[in-house]
């Protein structure tokens, strides 16, 4: 893949914190017409989120056959796996690629993961209704969603990773977490979307943990707020307070039906909406600060639908929250927008198999 990444590397004292807006940090990192080298076997890329599943096929003709559907959350606990197998077949049909030719399937998925005989199942708060019970309104009582075992039965080579790790790998190869084509050794990717998650890299090693769950910073406890029930069953973690679906749950009674409505009101100078978004930024800012001081990272890139659609508004507020706090630990860490933009999920799955 060809990518362009540019940063403002002006002279600065090594202990001076440097924060840049996206316009200064990244240019276009996606080049139209991307394709695998001639003769490469096709691969399937699967991006599983709490709201939607996206599948596409990539080969030496490019990226084709993109299909998107709402994430399966009803029926038997293997419904999501069956949905993916069907969607891969449909994507292959749309791309005119026989499904038997798919060499590898990369699955970048929301988590957490649970291993069952070494195979990944999802204990994802926005998919499995059995975790928090009926209060969360999901139409199932699943404790886990079966995933990897059915995929291995259908395809020869499958790699499943947390979507934070997939996005991190993509950002380090083609996006904002590389410099002149060299992946950064100490960095993190953060998604602010239906859920909150991260991918972490320290000393050049991507952190995975015992079950592939390293980076679930969205489940850090930050509040005793009783109106903030996370799908995992926790009350008052980061995700329960600021994730896209949390905004709708917490603020609809105040007249803001969803995240989009809240931001539209803020852009119209609604002081209540502005104050609520400032509160959201304070919580996310705390999480970013905690990542920086715990891991000593050089750069954090942020993506996800909530953030991306409002990045011009959110980025300076998040930067301002961290800037100046304990400079011995925060100085020199850049907070930037994801170089891969809205397609970071697509490229996260691709990074797992090419």
**Given a cut of 60, is residue 7 above it in pLDDT?**
no
- In the chain the first and final C-alpha atoms are separated, in Å, by 10
Q: What is the pLDDT of residue 43?
A: 97
Taking only the tens place, the pLDDT of each residue in 148-178 is 999 999 999 999 999 999 999 999 999 999 9
* Confidence label for 204 from pLDDT (cuts 50, 70 and 90): very high
**Given a cut of 70, is residue 22 above it in pLDDT?**
no
Q: Which of 150-159, 327-336, 341-350 shows the lowest per-residue confidence on average (mean pLDDT)?
A: 341-350
**Given a cut of 60, is residue 5 above it in pLDDT?**
no
Q: Which of 3-17, 43-57, 222-236 shows the lowest per-residue confidence on average (mean pLDDT)?
A: 3-17
pTM (2 d.p.): 0.86
Q: Considering only the top CATH level, what class is 43-156?
A: alpha beta
**The two domains 43-156 and 181-347 share their CATH topology (first three levels equal):** yes
- As a whole-number percent, the residues of the chain with pLDDT over 70 amount to 91
Q: What is the pLDDT of residue 30?
A: 54
Alpha-helical runs (H) found in 97-162: 148-154
Q: What is the pLDDT of residue 140?
A: 94
Cα 60 from Cα 242, distance rounded (Å): 40
Q: Which of 48-57, 216-225, 300-309 shows the lowest per-residue confidence on average (mean pLDDT)?
A: 216-225
Say whether domain 181-347 belongs to CATH 1.10.10.10: no
Cα 262 from Cα 271, distance rounded (Å): 11
- Residue 209 φ/ψ, nearest 5 degrees: 85, 180
Which has the closest alpha carbon to 102: 134, 145, 58, 72? 58
Q: What is the pLDDT of residue 12?
A: 30
Work out whether strand 205-206 and strand 196-202 pair parallel, antiparallel, or are unpaired.
Answer: antiparallel
The CB density around residue 347, as the number of other CB atoms within 10 Å, is 32
Q: Could you tell me the maximum CA-CA distance found in the chain, to the nearest angstrom?
A: 58
When the pLDDT of each residue in the chain is averaged and rounded to a whole number, the result is: 89
* Confidence label for 33 from pLDDT (cuts 50, 70 and 90): low
CA angle centred on 234, ends 231 and 235, rounded to 5°? 105
Q: What is the mean pLDDT of residues 74-103?
A: 97
Cα 354 from Cα 346, distance rounded (Å): 13
Alpha-helical runs (H) found in 224-304: 238-242, 244-251, 259-267, 271-295
Tokens, residue 85: 């197998």
Domain ranges of the chain: 43-156, 181-347
**Given a cut of 50, is residue 92 above it in pLDDT?**
yes
**Given a cut of 60, is residue 290 above it in pLDDT?**
yes
Q: What is the mean pLDDT of residues 216-236?
A: 86
The residue with tokens 């059915």 is: 150
């Amino acid at each position: 893949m060809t990518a362009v990444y540019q940063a403002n590397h002006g002279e600065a004292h090594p202990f001076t914190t440097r924060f840049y807006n996206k316009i200064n940090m990244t240019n276009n990192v996606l080049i139209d017409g991307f394709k695998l080298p001639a003769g490469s076997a096709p691969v399937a890329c699967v991006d599983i989120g709490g709201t939607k599943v996206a599948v596409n096929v990539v080969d030496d003709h490019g990226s084709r056959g993109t299909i998107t559907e709402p994430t399966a959350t009803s029926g038997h606990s293997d419904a999501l796996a069956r949905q993916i197998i069907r969607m891969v077949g449909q994507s292959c049909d749309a791309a005119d690629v026989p499904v038997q030719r798919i060499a590898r399937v990369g699955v970048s998925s929301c988590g957490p993961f649970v291993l069952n005989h070494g195979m990944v199942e999802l204990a994802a708060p926005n998919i499995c209704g059995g975790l928090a019970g009926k209060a969360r309104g999901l139409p199932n009582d699943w404790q886990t969603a079966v995933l990897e075992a059915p995929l291995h039965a259908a395809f020869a080579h499958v790699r499943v990773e947390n979507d934070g790790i997939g996005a991190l790998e993509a950002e380090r190869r083609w996006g904002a977490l590389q410099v002149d084509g060299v992946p950064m050794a100490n960095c993190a990717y953060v998604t602010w979307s239906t859920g909150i998650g991260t991918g972490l890299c320290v000393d050049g090693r991507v952190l995975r943990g015992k079950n592939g769950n390293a980076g679930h910073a969205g489940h850090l406890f930050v509040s005793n707020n009783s109106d903030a029930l996370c799908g995992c069953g926790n009350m008052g973690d980061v995700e329960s307070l600021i994730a896209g679906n949390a905004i709708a749950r917490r603020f609809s009674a105040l007249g803001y039906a969803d995240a989009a409505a809240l931001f539209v009101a803020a852009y119209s100078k609604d002081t209540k909406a502005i104050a609520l978004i400032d509160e959201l930024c304070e919580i996310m800012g705390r999480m970013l600060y905690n990542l920086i001081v715990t891991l000593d990272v050089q750069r954090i890139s942020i993506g996800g639908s909530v953030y991306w659609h409002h990045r011009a508004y959110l980025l300076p507020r998040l930067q301002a929250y961290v800037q100046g706090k304990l400079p011995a630990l925060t100085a020199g860490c850049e907070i930037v927008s994801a170089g891969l933009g809205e397609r970071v999920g697509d490229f996260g799955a691709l990074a797992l198999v090419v």
